[in-house]
Structure 1
């Protein structure tokens, strides 16, 4: 898998040491390229529930005084659900989640697939948001200490047609940060409430959503 890139940081309040990370999560893998790239109709999985969420929790509040929420690395005004296209409307990538509803402790599997007929580029697989829809809007459930910064190597990953990233996320307080390159500093606070969640892959400004029950 070809890589290229530059370094960038998403700084939280305060100054501190940054850790640069690169590459894909240990749980990520790329599928083998196929002779004919899949179409969105060929893909399994879902984009988001059609109905409104049954539960909308209050704004997230963490009792740790030095906790700062993870900043968003995407443009909310330009967010796409499930599919991305070229400027001429040609299909580019498809993001899917394997289920629309989970219980706390289950594992969500999310895949990104190049559905075009040529190579495409994205950032690394560790640059994403995991958010819950609250009374204050969408909020990332993760964060870190206010005296530390979140730093990523903004590498580019080349995807042949039919290839995909895959994320497996255990829907628990510790599971959502396990195996992330910044696992040593990221944490979830408070614990995951019941409600509607979305996974946003920054490089493509694309999201999928699902419900979590407790």
Structure 2
């Protein structure tokens, strides 16, 4: 095999570029880049960003809720989720009668702040938006299920037909998924810790 100085230099440069590519990707930030812990509030640098309003007044019930006719349970895989992984949740009618709902998109994804729970999503159009609501019935032994990728784009793209964004970026801290679409019942939620 014929080795030349030019070939050795080219091979060394290629090996160096491969070795540093992973470092550059890590330095560029593949993990959560937002505020850590419990921030005072959620602040967005985009002046056109309008955060989703909280569409419910009642306090959030955890795991199990009684409607007028039946029982509904919200379950999740764990209490700690990793940035970039999927948050999997199931809302199941475990009772003996159908549950009236406002459809699968009637949920909030909130972050705990010093001023309370705030939705991480909003519109970048300068105007507020509402999530789609459609009267539906969750039959006995039926369920709604969500599989939301825990990245800014994954959360923003989880609701079809609505142009949403997440701002500021996600950071390590306490979050909760709240389904507020049960008619004649309080919202039901599940808290989780997001880690990098």
CA offsets per residue over residues 167-199 of structure 1, 9 Å max, x none? Answer: 11111111102241244x210011101111101
Q: Which has the larger radius of gyration?
A: 2
1:155 CA drift (Å): 1.8
Alignment of 1:79-158 (within 5 A): 79-87=60-68, 92-145=71-124, 147-158=126-137
Change (3 A) 1:153 1:192: closer
Is 1:208 aligned with 2:186?
A: no
Where does structure 1 differ by over 2 angstroms across 4 or more consecutive aligned residues? Answer: 145-149, 151-154
* Unaligned stretches of 5+ residues in structure 2: 1-35
Higher relative contact order (CA 8 A, sep 6+): 1
**Segment of structure 1 superposing worse, 203-212 or 147-156:** 147-156
Is the partner of 1:57 in helix, strand or coil?
coil
Change (3 A) 1:105 1:152: closer
In terms of fraction of residues, the more strand-rich structure is 1
CA distance in 1, matches of 2:59, 2:116: 16
Correspondence for 2:21: none
Q: Is the 8 A contact 1:57 1:134 kept in 2?
A: yes
CA distance in 1, matches of 2:114, 2:76: 24
CA distance in 2, matches of 1:115, 1:197: 25
Is 1:191 aligned with 2:173?
A: no
Change (3 A) 1:111 1:61: same
CA distance in 2, matches of 1:152, 1:132: 18
Correspondence for 2:31: none
Change (3 A) 1:164 1:178: same
Q: Is the 8 A contact 1:70 1:142 kept in 2?
A: yes
- The partner residue of 2:151 within 153, 172, 184 is 172
CA distance in 2, matches of 1:140, 1:67: 12
Counting matched residue pairs gives: 157
Correspondence for 1:36: none
Is the partner of 2:181 in helix, strand or coil?
helix
Please report the TM-score for the alignment, with normalisation by the length of structure 2: 0.73
Q: Is the 8 A contact 2:82 2:195 kept in 1?
A: yes
